[in-house]
Amino acid sequence: MEETASTPLHKKIPFIHQFSFDSISKVLTIVLVVSLLGGIGTGYFLSTNSGSKTANQIPLNQKPATAQQDSRTFRDFAEGKIVKKPEPKQGEYTEGTHLLTRDGAMPVALTSSVVDLSLYENKKVKVFGETQKALKEGWLMDVGKVEEI
C-alpha cells in the first residue's frame, strides 16, 4: 500500500481501519444518552431525599432561640438579671456593655457580638458564653446564647 497525502488517516494508522465511523458514532451516542439519563436520575434521587431534611425549620409553637443552639460551644454560664452598664467617664477604661447581677455573687461583665443584650435588660436570664481575660472586671464573659428564665 502506497502512502500519499491523499490517503485517509484511518488507513495510515494500523487497526483504525477495522472500525467504521458509523459504529464509533453509534457507541458515542449510546454513551452520551446513558450518561445524560444517569445524571438526571442521580439529580432527581438526591433532590427527593435531601428535600425533607431542612436544618433551619422552627416549629410554629416554639419561639426562636438566639445566636447559637449548641450549648457545648459555650462552656461557661451564669444566671442573673442583665442591666445596662453605666456610661464611663471620658477616658475611663471599661469592659463589657452590660452587667449580669447575681444574688449573693460577684457581677459578671457581659459583651457580645452575636446577641443584642439590650433586648434582655432588666430580665432574669441564663447566659452562655466564653470567659475572657479581664483587666479590670472580676469576670468578663463573651455571650453567645441567652435564655430567659
b/e map 10-23, b = 16+ CB within 10 Å: eeeeeeeeeeeeee
**Residue of 21 and 52 predicted with greater confidence:** 21
pLDDT score for 53: 53
With 0.85 as the threshold, say if the pTM is over it. Answer: no
**Residue 39 pLDDT > 90:** yes
The grid cell for 4 is 500519499
Residue 76 to residue 73: CA distance in whole angstroms? 9
Residue 5 DSSP one-character state: T
pLDDT digits (tens, 9 = 90+) for 105-114: 888 999 888 8
The grid cell for 23 is 459504529
Q: Where are the alpha helices (DSSP H) in 51-148?
A: none
Residue 112 to residue 30: CA distance in whole angstroms? 60
Give the chain's mean pLDDT: 79
In the block, residue with C-alpha cell 428564665: 149
**Residue 120 pLDDT > 80:** yes
Contacts (Cβ under 8 Å, ≥6 apart) of 68: 74, 114, 128, 144, 145
Residue 93 to residue 3: CA distance in whole angstroms? 92
Say if CB 119 and CB 108 are below 8 A apart.
no
